[in-house]
Amino acid sequence: MDLGISGRKAIICASSKGLGKGCAIALAEAGCEITVNGRNVDILRSTADEIRALTGAIVHEVAGDVSESAVQDALLAACSEPDILINNNGGPPLKDFRTLDREAIVGGVVQNMVTPIELVQRVIDGMVARQFGRIVNITSASVLTPISGLDLSSGARAGLTAFLSGVARDVAHANVTINAILPGMFDTDRIRSNFANAAARLNVAEDKVRADRIAGVPAKRLGDADEFGKLAAFLSSAHSGYITGQNFLIDGGAFRSAF
């Protein structure tokens, strides 16, 4: 399917690896000029080179933590009139909520709620003026179903979802949409780190933790960043203008509900 966004400009936050990288590749394949971002300069450069070689797309690189104002400025300098914004950022590590102090809580909220809102504030009026905009927020399945130890991540991302729910309706008339994708267990560095930490805590083999977690997924596998990216690309496409304010769960059937 031609997504109808060839030539569009996209900013993809935290896209040097993992789910963000999957989104960057999918948008580049669709013909977008993309701006990628990551904290590690070497990994970011490698990813950008890989995408250029794979797709022939124009790829801009902006290194740094997207929650910092200077990095946001650099993103908008590299792509001053984005048609597409993919909000993504690393979440707080698994931790018992009792151990979280005020600094940690505020930090988690800044990373996973305040930062994407700031970026939306900076790009949305231009999208409205141009009568095209697609904003996709990568949140988490834990927004929908609680995961012990991810309370801070869940709370911040749920706050983002609620905050932008009304905004989505305010700009829908201008062909600007805001949606969220809620990933379950995907084969990323983060999930592998979670498996390793659980194995150490339980004093069992990491392979056992991995197998036990996968056994709870009806699809019997972890998700792949490529399939995640394809969903994000469709929600960024010319064909998704009547879809807004929605949350798309992509978890291999792990969340059990008929509605």
Identify the H or E element spanning 78. helix 69-78
Does position 190 have pLDDT exceeding 90, yes or no?
no
Q: What is the pLDDT of residue 259?
A: 86
pLDDT band at 231 (very low <50, low <70, confident <90, very high): very high
Residue the block writes with tokens 């001053």? 80
Given a contact cutoff of 8 angstroms between Cβ atoms, the answer to whether 85 and 20 are in contact is no
Q: What is the pLDDT of residue 201?
A: 87
**Choice between 108 and 193, residue whose per-residue pLDDT is larger:** 108
Mean pLDDT over the full length of the chain: 96
Does position 11 have pLDDT exceeding 90, yes or no?
yes
For 9-184+224-249, CATH number?
Answer: 3.40.50.720
The mean pLDDT of 97-110, rounded to a whole number, is 95
**Cα–Cα distance, 164 to 158 (Å, whole number):** 10
**Cα–Cα distance, 105 to 191 (Å, whole number):** 21
The mean pLDDT of 86-104, rounded to a whole number, is 92
As a whole-number percent, the residues of the chain with pLDDT over 90 amount to 88
The domain ranges of the chain are 9-184+224-249, 185-222
Q: What is the pTM of this model?
A: 0.96
158 φ/ψ angles, rounded to the nearest 5 degrees: -65, -40
**Cα–Cα distance, 221 to 214 (Å, whole number):** 6
The half-sphere exposure of 204 on its side-chain side, counting CA atoms within 13 A, is: 10
Does position 147 have pLDDT exceeding 90, yes or no?
no
Instruction: Provide the phi-psi class of 58: left if phi over 0, else alpha when psi is between -120 and 50, else beta.
Output: beta
The token pair that represents 250 in the structure block: 């992509």
